[in-house]
């Protein structure tokens, strides 16, 4: 029986992009269901009652949610074009960096978008400190996965889209090619990968969206 795969996503969700990338890198076919988060579909609420969020992957009727959990599921179910290394220690490292990206790096980067004046001045060095860890970890490899993109690259990938957008909207450039030569190069290489290039959301729509997120957050209550 052919696999029935559905992805619940929004046009802009960076977490959903991770799933799209993984499925396409493994050559898998799937149906996309775009959600309007202001009016969540009954199906989404049924498939993800705990968080009521996207992305959700539904495989032969069984839902999986939380993007890193979904990535592991995809990796374990379809073994072609592996995203994780074989060695358990290297796998632990890949997972560690993905977790770091989601738990520490993301918030510190978003804080730069969502603040202004003194608060923003303080947010910038925090974000850069976290980016420095990533810079060091790249260690002269083209990708975290080595010659091809892997689990950690997919986890970090959203920054290749959002950091330039954050610069456009706030004027703050977090990745300076002088101070972060490896991340700068990684971003270029990452964006050159055909599956990545083919799936970015509309730049103009994203600028409007990011601007809207910033304005909403900074609006006086």
Partner 1 sequence: MAAGEGVKLIGYWASPYALRVEWALKLKGIEYEYIEEDLPNKSALLLQCNPVYKKLPVLIHDGKPVAESLLIIEYVDEVWKEKYPLLPRDPGERAKARFWAKFTDEKCVPAVMATFTSQGEEQEKHAKEAQENLKTLESGLEGKPFFGGETIGFVDISAAWIGIWAKIVGEIVNIKLVDEEKMPLLCAWLQGVLENPIIKDCLPPGEKLLEHNRGFHRMLTGAAST
Please give the residue ranges that form the binding site for partner 1 (CB under 8 A).
50, 59, 62, 64-66, 69-70, 72-73, 76-77, 88-89, 91-92, 95-96, 99-100, 104, 133
| Contact between 55 and 65 (Cβ < 8 Å) | yes
Q: Minimum distance from CB of 2 to partner 1 (Å)?
A: 17
Quick one: tokens of 141? 């490899």
DSSP structure class, residue 82: -
| Contact between 162 and 214 (Cβ < 8 Å) | no
| Contact between 46 and 19 (Cβ < 8 Å) | no
Nearer of residues 70 and 169 to partner 1, judged by Cβ: 70
Q: Minimum distance from CB of 142 to partner 1 (Å)?
A: 23
Nearer of residues 103 and 178 to partner 1, judged by Cβ: 103
DSSP structure class, residue 142: S
Q: Minimum distance from CB of 84 to partner 1 (Å)?
A: 10
Q: What share of the chain is helix, strand, coil (3-state, %, to 5)?
A: 60, 10, 35
Nearer of residues 133 and 200 to partner 1, judged by Cβ: 133
Q: Minimum distance from CB of 58 to partner 1 (Å)?
A: 11
């Amino acid at each position: 029986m052919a696999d029935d795969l559905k992805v619940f996503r929004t046009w802009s969700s960076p977490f959903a992009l991770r799933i799209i990338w993984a499925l396409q890198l493994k050559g898998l076919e799937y149906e996309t269901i775009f959600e309007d988060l202001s009016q969540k579909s009954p199906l989404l609420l049924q498939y993800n009652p705990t968080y009521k969020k996207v992305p959700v992957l539904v495989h032969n009727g069984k839902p999986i949610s939380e993007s890193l959990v979904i990535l592991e599921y995809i990796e374990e179910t379809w073994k072609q074009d592996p995203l994780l290394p074989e060695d358990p220690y290297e796998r632990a490292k890949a997972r560690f960096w993905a977790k770091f990206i989601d738990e520490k790096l993301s918030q510190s980067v978003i804080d730069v978008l969502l603040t202004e004046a003194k608060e923003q001045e303080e947010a910038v060095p925090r974000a850069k400190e976290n980016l420095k860890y990533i810079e060091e970890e790249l260690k002269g490899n083209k990708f975290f996965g080595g010659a091809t993109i892997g689990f950690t690259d997919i986890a970090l990938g959203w920054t290749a889209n959002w950091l330039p957008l954050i610069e456009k909207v706030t004027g703050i450039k977090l990745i300076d090619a002088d101070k972060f030569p490896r991340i700068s190069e990684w971003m270029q290489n990452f964006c050159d990968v055909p599956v990545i290039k083919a799936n970015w959301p509309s730049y103009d729509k994203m600028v409007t969206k990011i601007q809207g997120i910033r304005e909403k957050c900074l609006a006086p209550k």
